[in-house]
Amino acid sequence: MNFDLTEEQKMIRDMCRRFAENEIKPVAARLDEKKEHPAELCQKMGELGLMGIAIPDEYGGAAMDYVSYMLAVIEISKACASTGVIMSVNNSLYCFPINTFGSDEQKRNYLTPVASGKAIGCYALTEAGAGSDPASLRTTAELDGDTWVINGEKKFITSGNVADYCVLAAMTDKEKGYKGISSFVVDLKNTPGFSVGRVEDKMGIKASGTAEMVFSDARIPEENIIGEVGAGLRQMLTTLDAGRLGIGAQAVGIGRAVLEEALEYSKVREQFGKAISRFQAIQWKLADMATELDAAELLLLRAAWLQDQGKPFEKESAMAKMYASDIAMRAAVEGVQILGGYGYCKEFPMERHMRDAKICQIYEGTNEIMRLVIARNLLN
């Protein structure tokens, strides 16, 4: 059993760490306050190969492995969780399904610009009445001659307000329930009938847009269906397995930021004539954070390694996402407690970490659903 990273994996981790520290961290608070999409950072990440890390170079990607992807998302999210989730969705929820299930033509036309960082991708699945239960999808796709006519509204779509392309889940046969779901790739900038609806005002990850996407008799070419008609659910489940790793890595990144800032503060804050880091109550909080974050990262790397080997990783992905997001939230709560009143003020980034951590327990499948996925795998 070898826990050492390869030289290539160390290289991308260190590169992302430098980039995050020098380019992202200094502007993270401003991006959060202004709810500003980090367009310039996304462009730079594209130039560094971070927007399509595991995609073959022939389609604009960096052709690296999923372990490297985890390390990269952790470092980016440590500096700014909003930037981290934009990067994660681009890689996991848009690039992954097209690379895995798309045709060569779809990869050339719709994967290359996004994996190379020249465009932004998103994944349009969730609706007002369909999140954990995809069979409740109301968005429809009906074939009319050589075009699909799309009608429906998507909700809570990360990057939905800025994306150039999306992978869309829609019902092609309502009578078949789950088996009637199909996936499509949509060129959003060139699809009449598509519009961006409400952009949510959220608790956290404020620099990442979360939007409604409205399709009203929107027409896309027949060849834009991904794979076969009715194959959408299988594609969706595999895609979400990959996406959960990205969110788990985002959560670990947030937790790492909390730990580093709590450690630094505890060494300089004095009470009763000594640094608070010398009090056992603080030491125990720091020890728990460090232990749980290491455990979460190991769960992530195991799942990513399984994905790299082409082995099943559904259970391991759910475990990693669930545990990482739970401990990120726990770490953030303790981080605010260690900083006391300062932790509750915007003068320090700790309160932002706490706001950002919460969503990791919700999107890419709530942690309640993650426990169901894990249990199903155990029982089967």
CATH number for the domain harbouring residue 326: 1.20.140.10
Residue 5, C-beta contacts closer than 8 angstroms, at least 6 positions apart: 13, 67, 71
Q: How confident is the model at residue 29 (pLDDT cuts 50, 70, 90)?
A: very high
pLDDT tens digit sequence for 167-190 = 999 999 988 988 999 999 999 999
Instruction: Check residue 198 and give its pLDDT.
Output: 96
Active site (catalytic) residues: 364
Among 120, 138, 171, give the residue marking a domain's end: 120
pLDDT tens digit sequence for 123-170 = 999 999 887 887 789 999 999 999 999 999 999 999 999 999 999 999
Look up the domain containing 172 and give its range.
Answer: 122-230
**Domain count of the chain?**
3
92 and 138 co-located in one domain: no
Counting every residue written for the chain, the total comes to: 380
Instruction: Check residue 264 and give its pLDDT.
Output: 97
Instruction: Check residue 136 and give its pLDDT.
Output: 85
Q: How many angstroms separate the CA atoms of 171 and 169, rounded?
A: 7
37 and 85 co-located in one domain: yes
1 within domain boundaries: no
Q: How confident is the model at residue 7 (pLDDT cuts 50, 70, 90)?
A: very high
Instruction: Check residue 133 and give its pLDDT.
Output: 81
268 and 303 co-located in one domain: yes
- With CA atoms as reference, report the closest residue to 44 among 76, 10, 9: 76
22 within domain boundaries: yes
Give exposure, 61-72, as e/b (b: 16+ Cβ within 10 Å). bbebbbbbbbbb
Residue 184 near residue 225, CB atoms below 8 Å = yes
The CATH number for 146's domain is 2.40.110.10
Instruction: Check residue 169 and give its pLDDT.
Output: 97
Among 184, 202, 230, give the residue marking a domain's end: 230
Residue 147 near residue 221, CB atoms below 8 Å = yes
pLDDT tens digit sequence for 232-255 = 999 999 999 999 999 999 999 999
244 and 371 co-located in one domain: yes
| Reported pTM | 0.96
167 and 63 co-located in one domain: no
The CATH number for 68's domain is 1.10.540.10
Element (DSSP H or E) covering residue 271: strand 270-271
Mean pLDDT of 211-226: 98
Q: Residue 57 pLDDT > 80, yes or no?
A: yes
Q: What is the mean pLDDT of the chain?
A: 96
- With CA atoms as reference, report the closest residue to 138 among 149, 154, 122: 154
Q: Residue 1 pLDDT > 90, yes or no?
A: no
45 and 144 co-located in one domain: no
2 within domain boundaries: no
